């Protein structure tokens, strides 16, 4: 390390790029399409309403002549915006210049400057290179590659002026490196080497430079050694549309492509073959490409006939074939004299066969479509469409309509090996979609109107919820005999299994239990207080709380949930819930309030503390009702006897457990008005968790 410090005379650092990118198109109608020499394409735009969101803002500074375009409100100049997801922008050159004085003691203080580019762009893979220029000059670049730090560099040396050749960047006066694909948070540095024999500079040139430039944007000249005046060079960065965008903006005759994104979190719109135009605007790629106008766009040997989105090739009279060139193509060959009757019979038989087959397949397709329409109607598809259309806040991409073929393929035709859960409601299957995404598919067991209503209710409720601790609804399928719901797949089972099935899972630690309780309380508080329309879950229990590999809670099963109008505090409804978790006041009055969820959550807290089920008929009579069992233990000051022993041996934090038990008892008050709100419960649990931090 000491020797490395002695080689650093000066250092300048620039952060070139940081995180992944966004995307482009032609300007919207009524919007400026030019800023000086730069053509602006939507989703980029100059004024409000002309760009997709703030990250696609182009600031056009007309104080320059011609006007100059800058990215958002930065000083980064944009020189080109292309439809293939590339942005050309000027990036500063990192330079270090010394004064040629000898430094003593081997101790040097680097001069560091940090300039950060917008976090919405990433360096384009394989389209840039790293350059260092100078004599006895080193250039470094570093960043994050596949989650790990990456550092490399090169050295430019000079033995004499004759060894420096124009166009050569192989280490003499100039060195270059390829930038690895996937490198993020790229930083550059340049410095000068010392002559270790006497501590002086190697005096070939006064300055060293380093920069990232597009592959075709730089050619080295030997004169740069003595004088390199450029302050900025053009670098190529990638941009694309993020999946968090509310709607899929790809327009007519275009497709959505996310194959370039490792985690499918970004996508670009591309025109279908044979079309051109603007894939990001509603009219999309509405211009047909006339392949016949240009020889390089078609492979016809004779006559080319343009069609919408494609073309056909025609042979001259008395010739036959497909009219296309190539080794595996027939081209056009002279038609041999054959017996017209044989040709007629062959053609007639072929036409008859094709016609019969077409009619048969058309009839089968018609029956298949009618059958799917029947299921769609019976499964409440029209009602669901009407409900969703009335809720303007529902993002279209929240409810994706899957085909029955997609889900059958994802589950290997609902093979028993893909079953991950069963219950009175039906079966849950694990499926793998074509893009590799793991999903959970909920398939109802019975076909009843009440279940159809419950299915529609769950879709409507989940479409109102945006919370990290709620299982995300991806879509549904209405074409099957029973409706299917498709959720994100949560990998680690239910909280009920972790507490009560020790053959599958080791006992949860107290820290994990408290974290799960706090996250679940946060979800219920959000549903009651922060959702666009207040929601009562109505079936809070440990089997409806899923856990991922990090033991993060995910609340599920909103089939019984109720949306509560803003001007009402309770709703009258048929009593529905699970024995042991059901609010006694709700059971007696049929008046559903937010405090009904509070009661059920109190039972969940007791399960976390004791490791016992809400209702158990196998043990002693005093333990059959968990709420009464714990309440008696607390009144007799013997709570420690009912706490799960395996958990307490590991933790030894009985005071925290005692505080959570007190919170649970507040939740289990017989009168709903005496119970705290879920927001208050979450705050009290947060207070208990702060005790853990202090420990």
Cα–Cα distance measured from residue 41 to residue 278, given in angstroms and rounded to the nearest whole number: 9
**DSSP assignment of 79-90:** EEE-TTSEEEEE
Give the number of other CB atoms < 10 A from CB of residue 512.
18
Unique residue bearing structure tokens 């075709």: 216
Catalytic residue among 125, 335, 415, 539: 539
CA distance 195 to 102: 10
169 vs 210: CA distance, rounded Å? 13
Residue 19 has what DSSP assignment?
A: S
- Alpha-carbon gap, residue 13 to 24, rounded angstroms: 30
Tokens of 301: 């040997």
Strands, E assignment, 62-136: 68-71, 78-81, 86-92, 94-97, 122-123, 128-133
Cα-Cα-Cα-Cα torsion 412, 414, 418, 421, nearest 10 degrees, comes to 170
Contact at 8 Å (CB) between 188 and 128? no
The per-residue DSSP string of 529-544 comes to IISSS-EE-S---GGG
Does 443 belong to an annotated binding site?
A: yes
Determine phi and psi for 458, rounding to 5 degrees. Answer: -65, -40
540 closest CA partner among 495, 467, 601, 595:
601
Cα distance between residue 689 and residue 515, in whole Å: 8
Strands (E), 412-532: 419-423, 426-432, 438-444, 473-477, 484-488
Whether residue 539 lies in the annotated active site: yes
C-alpha span between 569 and 565 (Å, rounded)? 8
Whether the upstream peptide bond of residue 66 has omega within 30° of 0, thus cis, is: yes
Beta bridge partners of 14: 188
Which residues are known catalytic residues?
A: 539
Annotated binding site for ATP: 443
């Amino acid at each position: 390390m000491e020797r490395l410090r002695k080689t650093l005379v000066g250092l300048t650092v620039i952060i070139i790029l940081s995180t992944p990118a966004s995307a482009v198109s032609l300007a919207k109608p009524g919007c400026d399409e030019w800023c000086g020499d730069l053509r602006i394409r939507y989703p980029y735009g100059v004024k409000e309403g002309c760009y997709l969101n703030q990250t696609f803002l182009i600031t056009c500074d007309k104080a320059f002549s011609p006007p100059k375009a800058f990215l958002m409100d930065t000083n980064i100049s944009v020189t080109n915006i292309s439809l293939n997801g590339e942005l050309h922008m000027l990036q500063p050159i990192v330079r270090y210049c010394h004064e040629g004085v000898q430094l003593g003691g081997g101790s040097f203080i680097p001069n560091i400057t940090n300039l950060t580019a917008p976090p919405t762009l990433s360096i384009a893979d394989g389209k840039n290179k790293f350059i260092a220029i100078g004599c006895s000059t080193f250039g470094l670049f570093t960043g994050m590659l596949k989650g790990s730090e990456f550092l490399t560099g090169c050295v430019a040396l000079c033995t004499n002026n004759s060894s420096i050749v124009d166009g050569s960047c192989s280490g003499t006066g100039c060195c270059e490196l390829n930038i690895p694909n996937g490198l993020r948070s790229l930083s550059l540095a340049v410095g000068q080497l010392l002559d270790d024999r006497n501590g002086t500079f190697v005096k070939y040139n006064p300055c060293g430079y380093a920069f990232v430039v597009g592959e075709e944007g730089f050619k080295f000249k030997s004169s740069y050694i003595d004088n390199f005046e450029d302050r900025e060079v053009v670098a190529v960065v990638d941009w694309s549309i993020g999946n968090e965008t509310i709607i899929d903006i790809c327009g007519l005759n275009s497709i959505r492509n996310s194959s370039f994104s490792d985690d499918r979190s970004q996508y670009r719109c591309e025109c279908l073959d044979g079309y051109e135009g603007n894939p990001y605007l509603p009219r999309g790629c509405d211009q047909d490409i006339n392949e016949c106008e240009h020889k390089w766009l078609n492979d016809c040997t004779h006559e080319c006939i343009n069609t919408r989105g494609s073309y056909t090739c025609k042979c001259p009279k008395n010739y036959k074939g497909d009219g296309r060139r190539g080794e595996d193509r027939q081209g056009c060959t002279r038609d041999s004299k054959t017996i017209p009757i044989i040709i007629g019979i062959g053609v007639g038989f072929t036409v008859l066969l094709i016609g019969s087959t077409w009619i048969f397949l058309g009839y089968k397709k018609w029956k298949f479509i009618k059958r799917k329409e029947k299921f769609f109607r019976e499964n409440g598809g029209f009602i669901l469409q009407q409900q969703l259309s009335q809720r303007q806040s529902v993002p279209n991409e929240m409810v994706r309509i899957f085909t029955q073929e997609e889900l059958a393929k994802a589950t290997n035709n609902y093979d028993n090996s893909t079953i991950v859960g069963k219950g009175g409601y039906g079966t849950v299957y694990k499926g793998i979609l074509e893009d590799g995404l793991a999903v959970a598919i909920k398939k109802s067991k019975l076909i009843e109107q009440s279940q159809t209503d419950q299915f529609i209710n769950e879709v409507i409720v989940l479409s109102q919820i945006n919370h990290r601790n709620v299982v995300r609804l991806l879509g549904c399928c209405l074409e099957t005999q029973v409706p299917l719901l498709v959720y994100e797949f949560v990998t680690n089972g239910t909280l009920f299994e972790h507490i009560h099935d020790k053959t599958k899972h080791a006992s949860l630690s107290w820290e994990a239990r408290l974290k799960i309780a706090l996250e679940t309380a946060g979800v219920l508080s959000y549903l009651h207080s922060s959702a666009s329309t207040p929601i009562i879950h109505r079936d809070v229990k440990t089997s409806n709380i899923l856990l991922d590999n990090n033991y993060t809670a995910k609340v599920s099963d909103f089939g019984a949930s109720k949306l509560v109008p803003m001007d009402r505090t309770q709703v009258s409804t048929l009593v529905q819930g699970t024995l042991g978790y059901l609010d006694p006041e709700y059971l007696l009055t049929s008046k559903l309030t937010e405090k009904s969820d509070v009661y059920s959550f109190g039972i969940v807290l007791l399960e976390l503390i004791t490791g016992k089920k809400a209702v158990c008929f196998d043990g002693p009579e005093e333990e059959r009702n968990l709420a009464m069992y714990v309440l008696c233990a607390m009144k007799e000051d013997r709570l420690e006897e009912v706490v799960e022993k395996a958990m307490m041996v590991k933790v030894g934090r009985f005071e925290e457990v005692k505080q959570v038990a007190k919170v649970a008892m507040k939740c289990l008050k017989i009168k709903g008005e005496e119970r705290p709100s879920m927001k208050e419960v979450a705050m009290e649990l947060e207070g208990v968790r702060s005790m853990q931090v202090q420990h």
